[in-house]
Structure 1
Amino acid sequence: MSKISVAFFAAAVLYALIGMCLGIFMGTSGDHSLSPVHAHINLLGWATLALMGAFYGLAGRQTPTRLAWTNFGVSNLGNLISLPLLALLLQGNTSVVPIMAAGEILLVLGMVIFGVAVLTVGGKPTRV
């Protein structure tokens, strides 16, 4: 398996563990006010990064390596900015919105980069 695929899966596992811990915390405390953060960690961190890692693993040698690493960095940076700030926003701190918006733009950019990678791999002839 390629290093990029392993990196995506490793990051996905970290997000999954954070999401699980947050879920346990909310369940034991009875305070579910951070449920949107929990959902976004699981969707944008665990599920999305795992799917990207699976794609790059399946693409194998056709993976556009530089683009894939850019995808990894941009997507993770977007998560690391947006997810904690979403928690602060839900707790009433509206001053985080401009910075959070930058993180959200990075998340969209990460998905666009992934789309370009998919189209790049899809446009290459398959070797058997």
Structure 2
Amino acid sequence: MKNAPKMFFATAALFALCGMVWGIQMSATHDHALSPAHGHLNLIGFVMMSVFGTYYALTPHAGRSRAAGFHYLLTTGAVLVLTPGIALAISGQTEVLAQIGSVLAVLTVALFGFVVLKYGVGHTSHEAGSDSGMTTQPAE
């Protein structure tokens, strides 16, 4: 992916903004019935995407991989399916989207674990300009 950290952080900021506006709306209406959906939007959409963006910023060779692009799409999809899915489940309409979104969220974390094990953390010793002092090598 060309700029994984930028994409993860920009999308995290957008999801955080949506979560904040939604939180204000819930507070103004005194209706907090959908707070679990709001919480998942903030947790996966902002916190997890920020963590992933930080990892890819610290590990640029992982951020340039195809896996990073797929990871971004998978995480974004998880948020966009799970959040309304939870809202629909709470309102008694259907649980299917929440179930699909939950599986996507689990796959997102599993893919993150795979990427960390494959690429390690930080700059590798063979990367030019590695002055961060982090030289953790990928697991073999």
Give me the TM-score of the superposition, normalised by structure 2.
Answer: 0.82
Matching residue within 105, 108, 117 for 1:107 = 105
Larger mean CA deviation between 14-23 and 115-124 belongs to: 115-124
8 Å CA contact 1:63–1:121 kept in 2: the answer is no
User: Greater RCO between the two (CA within 8 Å, min separation 6)?
Assistant: 1
What is the rounded CA distance, in whole Å, between the counterparts of 1:123 and 1:29 in structure 2? 45
What is the rounded CA distance, in whole Å, between the counterparts of 1:63 and 1:22 in structure 2? 31
Where is the helix percentage greater, Structure 1 or Structure 2?
1
Amino acid at match of 1:87: A
Amino acid at match of 1:102: I
The Cα RMSD (Å) is 1.9
Change (3 A) 1:91 1:66: same
How do 1:56-71 and structure 2 match up within 5 A? Answer: 56-63=56-63, 65-71=65-71
The runs of at least 4 consecutive aligned structure 1 residues that moved more than 2 Å come to 61-64, 123-126
Larger mean CA deviation between 45-54 and 103-112 belongs to: 103-112
How do 1:17-96 and structure 2 match up within 5 A? Answer: 17-63=17-63, 65-93=65-93, 96=94
Task: Tell me how far 1:124 sits from its aligned partner.
Answer: 9.1
**CA deviations over 1:70-120 (Å, ceiling 9, x no partner):** 111111111111111111111121xx2223212211111111111111111
Unaligned runs of 5+ in 1: none
Unaligned runs of 5+ in 2: 131-140
Between Structure 1 and Structure 2, how many residues are aligned? Answer: 125
Partner of 1:117: 115
8 Å CA contact 2:9–2:49 kept in 1: the answer is yes
8 Å CA contact 1:64–1:121 kept in 2: the answer is no
- SS of structure 1 residue aligned to 2:119: helix
8 Å CA contact 2:37–2:87 kept in 1: the answer is yes
> Larger Rg: 1 or 2?
2
What is the rounded CA distance, in whole Å, between the counterparts of 1:63 and 1:79 in structure 2? 20
Amino acid at match of 1:115: G
What is the rounded CA distance, in whole Å, between the counterparts of 2:52 and 2:39 in structure 1? 18
Q: Percent identity?
A: 34
Change (3 A) 1:16 1:7: same
Task: Tell me how far 1:125 sits from its aligned partner.
Answer: 7.9
